[in-house]
Amino acid sequence: MEPTIKMPKAKITKEEALAFHLEPTPGKWEVQATVPMTTQRDLSLAYSPGVAVPCEAIAENPETAYDYTNKGNLVAVISNGTAVLGLGNLGALGSKPVMEGKSVLFKRFADVNSIDIELDTEDPDEFCRAVRLMGPTFGGINLEDIKAPECFIIEQRLKEEMDIPVFHDDQHGTAVICAAGLINALHISGKKIEDVKIVLNGAGAAGIACIELLKAMGARHENCIVCDTKGVIYQGRTEGMNQWKSAHAIATDLRTLEDAMKGADVFLGVSVKGAVTQEMVASMADNPVIFAMANPDPEITPEEAHEVRVDAIVATGRSDYPNQVNNVLGFPYLFRGALDIHARAINDEMKIACAHALARLAREDVPDEVALAYGKSLTFGRDYIIPTPFDPRLIHRIPPAVAKAGMDTGAARRPIIDMEAYELSLKSRMDPTASILRGLNARARAAQNRIVFAEGDDPRVLRAAVMYQRSGFGKALVVGRHDDVKAKLEAAGLGDAVRELEVINAANTQHLQTYKDFLYKRLQRRGFDGKDVHRLAARDRHVFSALMLAHGHADGLVTGATRKSAHVLDQINHVFDADAAHGAAGITALLHKGRIVLIGDTLVHEWPDENDLATVAERAATVARHMGLEPRVAFVSFSTFGYPVSERTEKLYKAPQVLEARGVDFEYEGEMTVDVALNAHQQEAYPFCRLTGPANILIVPARHSASISTKLMQEMAGATVIGPILTGIDKPIQICSTGSTANDILNMAILASCDMA
């Protein structure tokens, strides 16, 4: 694996983390109805009297609960907070942010609805009783952050008492990903699991689960040496023992981790930083496999291990090293597969199937979007034995393997008959907009561009600039006065960031005269004299920033948060040809319910003719391709293919003819109403339509209709709006709206960095 660029690590501050959980509303998830709840009839069906019918049906046949309620796609994330991350016993309430986070991970990665539940007890009996009594509500239980040995007792008892999957992710999630990585590590080193000597350091929940799963996969009991803080767990040892450790005691004279490591093929660490020395690594067998999974710092770093053993295959729990053992590769997809067969449990066979499916995926070619996200060329080998969490194939490759194993072992209440159709349904479950946004973030991070934030007197802009730089996207250049920037950052709780940002203004740049000479040459025949040019270059931040960009002193520009877009565009036009006559256009992306639709022109053309509309369509197609979409353009109005007849629709009828004459290489059609453009069933009524599917680009008659459309979708439907994306000019410039949040401004900076033109 050859890195193409060394990207800086993202820095997350305390203030940023708290703001993320506070805004826009406290917490990380909310509840939404999936049925209409507007009329009296809706209420009568949703509640009394209509609700009595499914209640009686479920009482008669409990299996129908999966048909008439959300049980079949609902998982509880349950903890008592006794072992929260690496923070220890924070209590039930202190664990809630983590459990909320786990709930949204379920939704984000596998479209599993999830509710976090924090139980205020450390008594295993009380805990088990509470969870067991909630069983009818859920399709599965994900136990989280419960300390050992209570976690063993709780999970075992609940598995026995409940008829839905109960899964302690701290144990089995780590074990599954560890197993997947080990399958591939042994594949590379040419060894078999039944032959290798395995050393485990750390006999807590995760460690015990790891060794038990590997034994279920063929590792021999006598070849597995388990160590804890007191050394090797051997037969006859009494100190610090419990029944779970005793199950893995072997007959051996070895007493220390150092002794155990000699000649070992595999080391698994779920213990503490520094537990493994370079001497231990040097004593291992050829092609040693080292999974140093202690968090946040591994038992030994990959650099330290490779200093003494270049043949070592090393994995850690950290995202800044290759081969991250990340539980998010496992638990969402395990539960997705289990829920979809209405499983009674998640058994060893299902976990092993998950591990093998993950291992197979890592051995396949990696999609370009994944390689781009990581700034590296990822190919199967010593530094890539585990798939990355953002591999889009995970959702439709892992759950079917889990479901099949569940069906083969009798864990399924409702087997899947058509596995191919199931895989297709899984592909459709995931929101494609997430991968689009992730791809844009990845491109910006790989580009490492210098972005000018023109309005350095606005706290939102300053926060966005800090986030841009601290997120590792590149260099933030802020136009403003140093003292003012410092004061506003301090007021925002980001006082330390002033040293990180580069604050630029007309008084401290060495290029002002060059800028003025350039501007005078452009404007001297437009009625501007030397004084006018000085005022523009030295006092107008939009013009000054545009001049920086024009002279290559920055790679992109973000502005507009403090002034109306029309004014900002006028100022930028002093430096660039960013107007309708030169083919500039504003394209807005609407993201809603898993769909993305581009609308143009939302910024530049006020009343375009057919030639302008064709140009806007070409600009929108370029933006679509930058987002990874294959453009399908619809010219939309109130008429469809000539009816009703109106002179207002004539230009929309002619625009496709202009595109045809230009010989463009994307699909287009018009004129048509929005429902025909976006609805495949409506399109069936027009078999001559040239679109092969719903349009993803809508070209509207004028800027007023574009503005109305986007803002209506934003306010009434809750659509996510990205843009307007200014395209068709020489340099990347993005103009925010005056109502933008710091996060909105950051997104526009990312678009500028990606250069969507």
Just list the catalytic residues: 102
Count of residues for the chain?
A: 757
What DSSP designation does 492 have? T
Instruction: Find out whether 86 is annotated in a ligand binding site.
Output: yes
Alpha-helical (H) ranges within 524-609 are 530-539, 541-550, 565-572
Output the CA angle 166-172-178, nearest 5 degrees. 160
HSE (side-chain half, CA atoms, 13 Å) at 625: 11
| Sheet of 198-201, strands arranged across | 231-232, 224-228, 198-201, 266-269, 289-292, 313-316
CA distance 524 to 527: 6
Distances (CA, A) of 287 to 26, 507, 752: 49, 61, 46
- For 328, the 3-state DSSP assignment is helix
Backbone dihedral region for residue 190 (phi beyond 0: left; psi -120 to 50: alpha; all else: beta): left
Instruction: Find out whether 87 is annotated in a ligand binding site.
Output: yes
* Phi, then psi, of 478 in degrees rounded to 5: -110, 130
615-645: burial string, b at 16+ Cβ within 10 Å, e else: bbbbbbbbbbebbebebbbbbbbebbeeeee
Instruction: Find out whether 295 is annotated in a ligand binding site.
Output: yes
Instruction: Find out whether 549 is annotated in a ligand binding site.
Output: no
CA distance 123 to 56: 36
- For 84, the 3-state DSSP assignment is strand
Distances (CA, A) of 493 to 12, 264, 487: 13, 51, 10
Residue with tokens 């591999």: 391
The answer to whether residues 95 and 145 touch, using CB atoms and an 8 Å cutoff, is yes
Instruction: Find out whether 88 is annotated in a ligand binding site.
Output: yes
117 membership: H or E segment, kind and range: strand 113-118
Helices 331-340, 348-362: crossing angle, 10 deg rounding: 120
Instruction: Find out whether 755 is annotated in a ligand binding site.
Output: no
Instruction: Find out whether 100 is annotated in a ligand binding site.
Output: no
Instruction: Find out whether 85 is annotated in a ligand binding site.
Output: yes
Distances (CA, A) of 413 to 348, 407, 418: 17, 8, 16
Binding residues for NADP(+): 84-91
Binding residues for a divalent metal cation: 144-145, 170, 295
Binding residues: 84-91, 144-145, 170, 295
